[in-house]
Structures are given as C-alpha cells and as structure tokens.
C-alpha cells in the first residue's frame, strides 16, 4: 500500500498493489485495507480519528477469474452496520463529496468486453480504469462491480 498526501492541493491518494498466483488470494485484501483506515476521520462532527474496528467491516469485495472472465463484486456484509454508517456519513457528506474511488486493473491479455460503459483503456487494451464518487460507493457498493472478458 502506498499513501501520498498533498496538503497544498488538498489531495490524498491511496494505492494498493498485490501480486498473486490465484485470484482468490485477493478476496481478503479489502479486509486488510479496512483495518488500516484508522487514520480516516470518523463520521462524527468532531472529526476525531476513527479507532472503531467494527466500522471497517461493512463492505466486502469478492474477486473471481477463470478462463478469461474476471469479476469484482462489492457487497454489504452487515446491513445494520451499513445503515448506521450511512446515518453517520450524512454529517460528513459535504467534506467527503469530492472523494473518488478509482479502480485500475491490468490483465495479461487484451480486454474484449467490460460491464463498465464509461471505462478508459490502455493503448494495448490490457488495462481498464474507472472511478465513482466515494459517497456513491459507500451508499451502494454495486457501483464498483465489474465484469471483464479477455482474449484467450
């Protein structure tokens, strides 16, 4: 994981990279990221730092890749915790409104089909990139779902 903050521009970027032999190895990756987000301000009005590990266990992500077909499925793990988190986000929505969630995946073969209409692709066709509002993702994780088909 790499985090870069530019206080002059008011920007923070978090990049996660991982190598794996089997896509199922990445299914727990977001759990590790969730546990590392204690630096994020809590959703309360006092902007104190969030040390509540339970808040990180709201959204899960499942990855599959078999025979040239890749899927990323984000889902709500605990509807009650999700509702509580959404109630809390309302107090911080104004400062979170500019936050973006960007996904960028590179495959060994050229992408021939994607479920994301507004995605951009690399010149060699092996990399796909798209972004959504972080607030939209928190409200409905399905906005970051992705299905890809690659050449064999």
For residue range 38-77, what is the model confidence (pLDDT) as tens digits?
444 443 434 333 444 445 579 999 999 999 999 999 999 9
pLDDT at residue 37 greater than cutoff 80: no
Output the pLDDT for position 9. Answer: 82
CB 104 within 8 A of CB 129: yes
The reported pLDDT for the residue numbered 89 is 83
CA distance 44 to 50: 9
Sign of the Cα pseudo-torsion (38, 16, 86, 135, in order): positive
**13: confidence class by pLDDT, cuts 50, 70, 90:** confident
Please state, in angstroms and rounded to a whole number, the distance separating the CA atoms of residues 63 and 25.
9
pLDDT in tens, 76-120: 999 999 999 888 888 888 878 888 889 999 999 999 999 999 999
Gap between the Cα atoms of 128 and 111, Å rounded: 8
* Overall domain count for the chain: 1
At 1, list the tokens. 């994981």
Q: What's this model's pTM, rounded to 2 decimal places?
A: 0.75
The parent domain of residue 114 ranges over 2-150
Name the least confident of 9-18, 31-40, 56-65, 133-142. Answer: 31-40
């Amino acid at each position: 994981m790499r985090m870069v903050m530019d206080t002059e521009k008011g920007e923070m970027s978090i990049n996660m990279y991982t190598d794996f032999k089997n896509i199922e190895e990445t299914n727990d990756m977001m759990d590790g990221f969730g546990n590392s987000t204690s630096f994020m301000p809590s959703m309360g009005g006092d902007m104190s730092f969030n040390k509540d590990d339970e808040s990180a266990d709201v959204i899960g992500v499942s990855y599959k890749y078999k025979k040239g077909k890749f899927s990323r499925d984000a889902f709500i793990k605990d509807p009650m915790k999700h509702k509580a988190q959404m109630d809390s986000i309302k107090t911080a929505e104004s400062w979170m409104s500019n936050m973006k969630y960007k996904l960028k995946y590179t495959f060994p073969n050229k992408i021939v089909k994607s479920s994301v209409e507004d995605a951009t692709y690399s010149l060699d066709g092996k990399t796909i990139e798209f972004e959504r509002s972080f607030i939209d993702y928190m409200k409905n994780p399905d906005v970051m779902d992705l299905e890809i088909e690659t050449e064999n």
